[in-house]
Amino acid sequence: MIHRKNREEERKGSACLTCEYTDGRATLCAENVFAAGVTGTTILLLLCVLGLLRAAIHSAVRVFTGEADEIAAQSHSGFCEKGIGILMKTMCSIYADNASTTQLDPDALEAMLPFMRDGFANPSALHSGAKKARHAVEDARRIISECINAKPHEIIFTSCGTESDNWAIKGVARSLDPKQAKFITCAIEHHAVLNCFDAIARTGFSTAILPVDGDGVVSVNDLEDAIKDTDSGLLSVMLANNEIGTIQDIPALADVARRHNLLVHTDAVQAVGHLPIDVNQLNIDMLSASAHKFNGPKGVGFLYKRDSVKLPPLIDGGHQESGLRAGTENVAGIVGTAVALCKHVEHLDRNMEQLRSLEKIMKTVIAEGIPEARFNGHPDRHLPGLLSLSLPGMNAEGLLHILDLKGIAVSTGAACNSKETILSHVLRAIQLPVPHASGTLRISFSKDNTESDATTLASFLVRLYHKHIG
């Protein structure tokens, strides 16, 4: 059981955050909480409209994929006979796109609500209401720091992982001489990092993009070659890849970087809440994270910055976040982030075991039914529950739409590229053959998925593959 309580247990009258678990439930003490006034009728009407729009958009896809008859037959069962079949069809029966975003944790939402109603005061103000909000932010900062073995003042709240990446990379660049410093990253980074490297390269900095092997692993030897004759700069390598799940050996890479006086940053957006994180064991200077990847709210992230690292403000303005990140704090979002991460850390071992079990089911069913299929990424060092599956001869976008019509949500490659048909830079970097790459799906389970979800999804993919390939 994890107890992350306030330093002052008797802080009277404060709407402070208390991340304490009793039977798996987070508690938040707050005053004057009132119920929301959204009616079920309004929600039902909105969902019905969305269902009608969705049906119209996908009608052509139904015919094209040959699924029309099967779907039409299903439309006469269950709730369809009661007149709200379209509504039910819009609801995902299996959500397997958790690497894209996760569902907001109910306890995180409950903890957020008081600060969206009565506890809405600006933390920077001087009255008592502001004090409550300020205490909640600082309590959340402490909880998050404990989850990654950092100090509270080393946690700086941002709007997302992308902002954290930008701040870490561009902030270091602003403090160094372009003629002397070198910035190094790898070919399968998120575009939040790769595009930052393009930006600083245009200002005169020397940059290097390290290759990866077929499993997506960065070689220490390649880093040694790239870092020669360098005595300042930054190494930025992601902890776990968001598309194929490969986990990098950050401590080993950091050792090389430190011998050449480079700072070390890791984009851990996909890893925080899903892997054990200890910033000291990782031997890093900065780490980026985003709440919506671990069942927290969207629009909130944080940057871990070691004490010794000096960064200029990315956003100029007020004194918030120790003068480093101006702008009124998103109190409710920050509170929800702390509760969500706290829950993930407490149940981390159980969640990882469950996700590995779902992986095993998927791999067993696919291997038996589609021997030609391939799972990408490192076979052992990869994020639990994240699978990059290549079905040769299939079209990933077509597969996605068919699955969508069955109420199954997955993605093709990185979620940020889901609307594009070109191969992702990650699949190109691991040199995946085109017939496999064009039929690659990313399946990402969460703690809320079941063995039935994994079996249903895998079995349907097997049937679909043989229907179209023969």
- 75 by Cβ neighbours in 10 Å (0-12 / 13-18 / 19+) ranks as middle
Active-site residue, from 29, 48, 80, 416: 416
Characterize the bridge pairing of strands 3-4 and 17-22: antiparallel
* Distance (Å, whole) CA 469 – CA 462: 10
Report which of 178, 234, 171, 230 is spatially closest to residue 204, judged by C-alpha positions. Answer: 178
Could you write out the three-class secondary structure of the chain?
CCEECCCCCCCCCCCCEEEEEECCEEEECCCCCCCCCCCHHHHHHHHHHHHHHHHHHHHHHHHHHCCHHHHHHHCCCHHHHHCCHHHHHCCCCEECECCCCCCCCHHHHHHHHHHCCCCCCCCCCCCHHHHHHHHHHHHHHHHHHHHCCCCHHHEEEECCHHHHHHHHHHHHHHCCCCCCCEEEEECCCCHHHHHHHHHHHCCCCEEEEECECCCCCECHHHHHHHHCCCCCEEEECCCECCCCCEECCHHHHHHHHHHCCCEEEEECCCCECCECCCHHHHCCCEEEEEHHHHCCCCCCEEEEECCCCCCCCCECCCCCHHHCECCCCCHHHHHHHHHHHHHHHHCHHHHHHHHHHHHHHHHHHHHHHCCCCEEECCCCCECCCEEEEECCCCCHHHHHHHHHHCCEECECCCHHHCCCCCCCHHHHHCCCCHHHHCCEEEEECCCCCCHHHHHHHHHHHHHHHHHHHC
Instruction: Please report where in the chains the tokens 């791999």 appear, as a residue.
Output: 363
Q: What Cα–Cα distance (Å) separates residue 230 from each residue in 174, 181, 241, 279, 418?
A: 18, 7, 27, 24, 38
> CB–CB of 457/95 below 8 Å?
no
- Tokens matching residue 244: 């194929």
CB atoms closer than 10 angstroms to residue 420: 12
Instruction: Please report where in the chains the tokens 């009255």 appear, as a residue.
Output: 127
Is 19 among the catalytic positions? Answer: no
- Tokens matching residue 224: 């040694």
Q: Annotated catalytic sites, by residue?
A: 416
